[in-house]
Chain A
Amino acid sequence: MSSEIAGDTLRDELSRPAGQQKAPHGKKRKGVTERDRPLWLLAPGGILITVIILIPLVLAVYMSVIDLDQYTLRKWLATPFIGIENFVEAITKTDLLRSIWISVSFAVISTVVTVPLGVAAAVVTQNPYRGRAVVRAVFLIPYVLPSFVVATVWRTMLQPDGIVNGVLHNVGIDPGLWLNGPLSYWTLVFVEIWAAWPFVYLLALAGLQSVDHEVHEAAAIDGALWWRKLREVIFPYLKGPVSLAFLLGTLNHINNFTLPFVLFGAPAPADVNVLPILVYVTSFQSFRFGLSAAMAVVSLILIAIPLFIYLRAVKLDVSDDGGKK
């Protein structure tokens, strides 16, 4: 799916190098956007993405239609073409659909919690006070620690005889197992939230900076209550960054491999058999590379559909205030 789209990208750029020829059927807007469009500025990114992402992606898709495993790996160019067999097997004989469901639901829940956390963190560090720089730096720490350190730390703390159960036991709660069984899903959600909320915080922080000083003044004169001011005056400025954070945060959660892998190990308990672990186990413990590529492609397509529905719904892609002004 994305390869087709990206194919268009490529064509657009290549057909108009250095912006000399204008597209004959370009949409008519104000004169200024028609004149001297510096489309060549798209070239560096376009070339890099084509070579380093799109070509390998085509290779990956090719892998998904051949019978690539440990026996054929060495001569992979001569590996027999088996069409959609890998896809059929992935959907009918493996836990793929269940894993996609676990991954997507876990990712959405994590995002729904991280967004308000991140926005709140950006708002409370917006006004200067003594020590704000330190607080801002502290907020970044979870995002700076490598995933496997975060996962090791939480795994140790959540051991049956670890500190978390010790504290809970003292207040009379015995929650049981965190790292296997039904609770493990919520463990994954919680640790992911802990590690990922600074991502939203950073994006929201940048968004807050584009709020015009005059807007604050106006709201102050209107005598608006702080929460009305936040909701009606400030949050509209965050709509773009937060919509983006929602989307990319969710995708990042879905693709996070290290965290569940270190927390739960592989093979993973059934409740947290997320997509990246399934793909990993299929690739590197069963050595079914073709099958795992097919799994990844299926999930890519299944995830791309809601992604584009979301894009349309929030109008993240089409909005351009510049054109309207």
Chain B
Amino acid sequence: MSTLTRPRTPAGRTTNKAARNGRSAQVTRLMPTWLIAVLTTLLCILVLVPIAYIFLASLNTDTGVASGEFWPSQFSLDSYSKIWGSVGLGKGIINSLVVAGSVAVVSAVIAVGTAYVLVRFTFVGRLTVLRGLLGLQSIPGTLMLLPVFVLFASIGAWLGITIIGTLWGLFIAYLTFALPFSTWVMVTYLRGLPRELEEAARIDGASNLGILFRIIVPLSWPGIVVSGIFAFLLGWNDVLFASIFTKPDTATAAIVLQVFSASQEGGAIPVYSQMMAAALVCAAPVVILYFIFQRYLVGGLTAGGVK
């Protein structure tokens, strides 16, 4: 990609190891500090105002939320204890973590291998595969719901096993839906990696797998983590497929959450405040996981892989 090589080539030549010591922080600075501060503040406000609303609503009464109050007229922490009741939120969160977590790991593994082949080797139909993967992303989920269900039911009946209602069925479905995208994330990332190391390793006699695991994977952590995050969130947020592919004891967090928003015609007010509390509780593990994994988002290159 010419656009990618352009900055690198002249840059590499003119460096001359002349970078002054102690300036490295400024060297990598992309923006003036004041602008960073302004933009960060604006973005945080954009995110946090509705989050504050969710938080306040979780402390409010259901009637208060329904009537559009921002500041609760009476505060209560009840919702946070009620949500653990019999709805099974804890079980739901665990199910979601198991399914989405496995999807993240497995899809990242498959995606790295697939992208490696697609980026570094030529073969007939390579472009077709790349374009086809993107084409798959445009298929609406509502179109696929019924056929996938029929397929799972038929395979299950044919093999004499239960697929629908198990976490395995959900795992396989999400894994497949995540693959085109995860693969593309890895494709774009791998393209940015220089080839010199791989070629050097190949001359030293390394095999394809050796190159993949010793060179590509260590350099690709940011890409792998991001593709894993996307795959994880696909499984975490889905309601459409989970609503028919799960049973009460395999329900995911999103499905359990949905119960809180349920209402009956002519019935009582939905339990809005519990729904808000549960939404925050459900978001917490993901944000914490991200907090832990984001240190891998520091680039493999800037971390000193290529020098």
A241–B302 CA distance with the chains assembled, in angstroms: 18
Q: Is the CB of B30 within 8 A of A53?
A: no
In the complex, whether A179 has a CB less than 8 A from a CB of chain B is no
Q: Is the CB of A218 within 8 A of B14?
A: yes
- Nearest A residue (CB) for B233: A143
Q: Is the CB of A1 within 8 A of B135?
A: yes
Given A63-B147, A217-B27, A319-B1: A53 and B226 interface contact (C-beta under 8 Å): no
- Of B46, B124, B143, B257, the residue contacting A23 (CB under 8 A) is B124
Chain A interface bracket (under 10, 10 to 19, 20 to 34, 35 or more)? 35 or more
The smallest beta-carbon distance between A77 and chain B, in angstroms, is 10
* B160 contacts across to A, CB distance below 8 A: none
Given A26-B124, A320-B1: A216 and B239 interface contact (C-beta under 8 Å): no
CB contact list, A292-323 vs B, under 8 A? 292-293, 296-297, 299-300, 303-304, 307-308, 311, 316-323
The smallest beta-carbon distance between B26 and chain A, in angstroms, is 7
- Of B28, B68, B177, B209, the residue contacting A163 (CB under 8 A) is B68
In the complex, whether A74 has a CB less than 8 A from a CB of chain B is no
* B15 contacts across to A, CB distance below 8 A: 214, 217-218, 221
The smallest beta-carbon distance between B35 and chain A, in angstroms, is 8
In the complex, whether B286 has a CB less than 8 A from a CB of chain A is yes
The smallest beta-carbon distance between A224 and chain B, in angstroms, is 11
A323–B127 CA distance with the chains assembled, in angstroms: 14
* B65 contacts across to A, CB distance below 8 A: 156
Question: How many residues of B are counted as interface, with CB atoms below 8 angstroms from the partner's CB atoms?
Answer: 139
Given A52-B173, A124-B36: A44 and B141 interface contact (C-beta under 8 Å): no
CB contact list, B223-247 vs A, under 8 A? 223, 225-226, 229-230, 233, 236-237, 239-240
- Of B11, B110, B175, the residue contacting A212 (CB under 8 A) is B11
Q: Is the CB of A221 within 8 A of B14?
A: yes
- Of B124, B176, B291, the residue contacting A12 (CB under 8 A) is B124
In the complex, whether A194 has a CB less than 8 A from a CB of chain B is yes
The smallest beta-carbon distance between B114 and chain A, in angstroms, is 5
* B98 contacts across to A, CB distance below 8 A: none
Given A251-B138, A257-B240: A322 and B195 interface contact (C-beta under 8 Å): yes
The smallest beta-carbon distance between B137 and chain A, in angstroms, is 5
In the complex, whether B83 has a CB less than 8 A from a CB of chain A is no
A324–B9 CA distance with the chains assembled, in angstroms: 13
* A304 contacts across to B, CB distance below 8 A: 135, 138
CB contact list, B251-300 vs A, under 8 A? 254, 257-258, 261, 272, 275-276, 279, 282-283, 286-287, 290-291, 294, 297-300
In the complex, whether A248 has a CB less than 8 A from a CB of chain B is yes
In the complex, whether A189 has a CB less than 8 A from a CB of chain B is no
Q: Is the CB of A214 within 8 A of B11?
A: yes
In the complex, whether A78 has a CB less than 8 A from a CB of chain B is no
- Nearest B residue (CB) for A11: B125
In the complex, whether B4 has a CB less than 8 A from a CB of chain A is yes
CB contact list, A30-85 vs B, under 8 A? 32-34, 36-39, 41-42, 44-45, 48-49, 51-53, 55-57, 59-60, 63
A sample of 9 more A-B contacts (CB under 8 A), given A127-B30, A212-B301, is: A117-B43, A123-B30, A125-B40, A145-B54, A152-B272, A212-B11, A239-B3, A244-B188, A307-B134
> Which A positions have Cβ atoms within 8 angstroms of B?
1-2, 5-6, 8-9, 11-12, 16, 23, 25-27, 29, 32-34, 36-39, 41-42, 44-45, 48-49, 51-53, 55-57, 59-60, 63, 117, 120-121, 123-128, 133, 135-150, 152-154, 156-157, 159, 161-163, 166, 194, 199, 202-203, 205-222, 226, 229-230, 232-234, 236-237, 239-241, 244, 247-248, 251-252, 254-255, 257-258, 275-276, 279-280, 283, 289, 292-293, 296-297, 299-300, 303-304, 307-308, 311, 316-325
